[in-house]
């Protein structure tokens, strides 16, 4: 797997970043951008659940076309699937590239205290916190370092990274 | 022995007989002088008697008798024999005397020279300046076989015995150089011929180039170089023609990871609208932070970036982050 350089040090990639925002690359992102990214990721989760439901319906139809009717798993099951998907999705994304789809769109990246890739266990803990206690995100508003409660607990950061996105 | 001047009185000589002050006495010299005086008186008396009229003729006749007798005797044969014998004896006596003189003379001369200070004698009685003035030195030199004399001289031995270092120490080289016309000497030197004969490669091999370069103030030399003028004279077209631009371009692309740049730029910059959303998001972040900081009445935040730290907690270069795929 290719290991890109640190966001602020990747000189070759930085040429693609507009001059106006080049100075904030690598800095911790604020609440608006992160919330937007979280919304996009939520939408991704909803889409994933919807796709999963559609897949399940298609499979059910193929297996039993005569007695087919749209299944009604109930909100609880779907919501659980939604949360479970998000946990898996966040863990996988942060432990590998450091960015989810929402973070990629908004030019963000999750890094550890050294500015490097987050370890899988840390990524899992962070995903659980963010999915089940989403309010931890709003500590960014109070924090002088733009760190959420999850970031404080797990010594991670979310930084602007347009260069490699 | 002292040799006094020839005109010095006899009494001045230390070896002259002295007359006793107590009265006249006979010495050997006095006796000889008395005999000589008597002989002179006799001769004078005889001469006077020969000049008398009556007595002179018989006396002259008597005096002539020995001569006449000698002439008569000379004509006799036994006289010739007598003469030959006498001549032989005389020659032998001379030969013996000569041999005796040859044996005795060296010792005698040494003995005599021991009593005489010859140098003082020559200095006192000989006018050396006058002799030297009359000496024809040119003629002497012309007759001398100088080449032969030089051939007999062991110059190597003389030079070996000379303390040249001491001589050189005593020479005022600065004064010599000041008087020398160096330019004239240089003009007479055929530098091309000298350089042609010199083995420059051998000389260069003996030079420690590293040491020479270490002693050179390159900064000062570079300061004196007009780089602009050098660049102006350079023929860049010729330089570029020699370059393999394709290979150079491949090297540069490999160094800057151009495919990665293109990949990331197409991913991130594909949509101008997306870039605008990101920019607006950053602006909104800053505004929200500004408002919150003002509400909380604190200094404006400085989010900064995660500080890369080493294992020991000290600051370290940024570590690689996650993959971009």
CB contact under 8 A, A33 and B302: no
> What does the pLDDT read at residue B297?
87
CA distance A73 to chain B (A): 35
A1 within domain boundaries: no
Answer for the pair B34, B24: CB distance below 8 angstroms, yes or no. no
Q: Quick count: other Cβ atoms within 10 Å of Cβ A156?
A: 24
A7 within domain boundaries: no
pTM: 0.45
A88 within domain boundaries: yes
CB distance from A108 to chain B under 8 Å? Answer: no
CB contact under 8 A, B282 and A12: no
Task: Give pairs for B156-159: CB < 8 Å, separation 24+.
Answer: none
Query: Residue B262: in which H helix or E strand, if any?
Result: helix B258-268
Q: What is the pLDDT of residues B219-232, one digit of tens each?
A: 888 888 888 888 88
Burial A128-143 (b: 16+ CB within 10 A, else e): bbbbeeeebbebbbeb
Give the pair of three-digit tokens for residue A126. Answer: 């962070």
Query: At what angle are helices A31-63 and B272-295 packed, to 10 degrees?
Result: 130
CA distance B252 to chain A (A): 11
What ipTM was predicted for this assembly? 0.86
CB contact under 8 A, A33 and B308: no
> What does the pLDDT read at residue B266?
64
Closest partner residue to A28 among B260, B303, B308, by Cβ?
B303
Q: Quick count: other Cβ atoms within 10 Å of Cβ B156?
A: 8
Q: Any bridge partners for residue A156, and if so which?
A: A112
Q: Quick count: other Cβ atoms within 10 Å of Cβ A48?
A: 16
A95 within domain boundaries: yes
Distance CA B98, CA B115 (A): 25
**What is the number of structural domains in chain A?**
1
Answer for the pair B252, B245: CB distance below 8 angstroms, yes or no. no
pLDDT tens-digit profile, chain A (165 residues): 334 444 444 555 566 677 788 888 889 999 999 999 999 999 999 999 999 999 999 998 998 888 888 888 889 999 999 999 999 999 999 999 999 999 999 999 999 988 899 999 999 999 999 999 999 999 999 998 899 999 999 999 999 988 765
Domain that holds residue A26: 14-160
CB contact under 8 A, B261 and A16: yes
């Amino acid at each position: 797997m290719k290991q890109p350089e640190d966001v602020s040090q990747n000189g070759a990639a930085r040429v693609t970043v507009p001059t106006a925002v080049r100075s904030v690359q690598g800095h911790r992102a604020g609440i608006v951008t992160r919330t937007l990214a979280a919304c996009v990721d939520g939408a991704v989760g909803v889409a994933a659940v919807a796709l999963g439901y559609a897949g399940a319906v298609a499979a059910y139809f193929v297996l039993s076309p005569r007695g087919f009717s749209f299944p009604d798993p109930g909100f609880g099951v779907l919501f659980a699937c939604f949360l479970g998907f998000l946990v898996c999705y966040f863990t996988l994304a942060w432990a590998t590239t450091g960015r989810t789809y929402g973070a990629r769109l908004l030019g963000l990246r999750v890094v550890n205290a050294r500015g490097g890739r987050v370890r899988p266990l840390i990524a899992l803990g962070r995903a659980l916190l963010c999915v089940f206690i989403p309010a931890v995100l709003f500590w960014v508003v109070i924090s002088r370092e733009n760190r959420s409660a999850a970031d404080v607990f797990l010594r991670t950061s979310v930084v602007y990274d347009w260069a490699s996105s | 022995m002292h040799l006094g001047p020839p005109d010095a009185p006899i009494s001045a000589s230390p070896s002259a007989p002295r007359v006793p002050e107590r009265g006249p006495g006979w010495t050997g010299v006095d006796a000889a002088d008395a005999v000589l005086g008597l002989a002179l008186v006799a001769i004078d008396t005889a001469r006077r008697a020969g000049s008398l009229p009556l007595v002179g003729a018989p006396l002259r006749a008597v005096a002539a008798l020995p001569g006449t007798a000698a002439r008569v005797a000379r004509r006799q044969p036994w006289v010739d024999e007598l003469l030959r014998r006498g001549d032989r004896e005389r020659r032998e006596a001379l030969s013996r005397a000569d041999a005796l003189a040859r044996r005795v003379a060296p010792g005698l001369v040494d003995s005599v020279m021991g009593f005489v200070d010859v140098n003082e004698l020559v200095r006192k009685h000989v006018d050396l300046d006058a002799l030297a003035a009359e000496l024809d030195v040119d003629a002497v030199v012309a007759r001398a076989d100088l080449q032969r004399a030089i051939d007999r001289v062991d110059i190597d031995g003389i030079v070996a015995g000379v303390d040249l270092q001491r001589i050189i120490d005593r020479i005022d080289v600065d004064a010599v150089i000041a008087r020398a016309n160096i330019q004239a000497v240089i003009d007479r030197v055929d530098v091309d011929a000298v350089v042609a004969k010199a083995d420059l490669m051998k000389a260069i091999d003996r030079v420690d180039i590293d040491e020479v370069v270490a002693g050179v103030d390159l900064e000062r030399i570079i300061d004196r170089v007009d780089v602009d003028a050098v660049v102006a004279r350079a023929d860049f077209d010729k330089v570029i023609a020699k370059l393999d631009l394709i290979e150079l371009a491949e090297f540069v692309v490999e160094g800057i990871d151009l495919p990665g740049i293109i990949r990331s730029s197409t991913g991130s910059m594909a949509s101008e609208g997306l870039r605008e959303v990101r920019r607006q998001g950053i602006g909104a972040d800053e505004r929200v932070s500004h408002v919150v900081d003002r509400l909380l009445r604190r200094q404006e935040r400085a989010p900064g970036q995660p500080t890369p730290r080493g294992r020991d907690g000290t600051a370290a270069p940024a570590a690689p982050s996650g993959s971009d795929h």
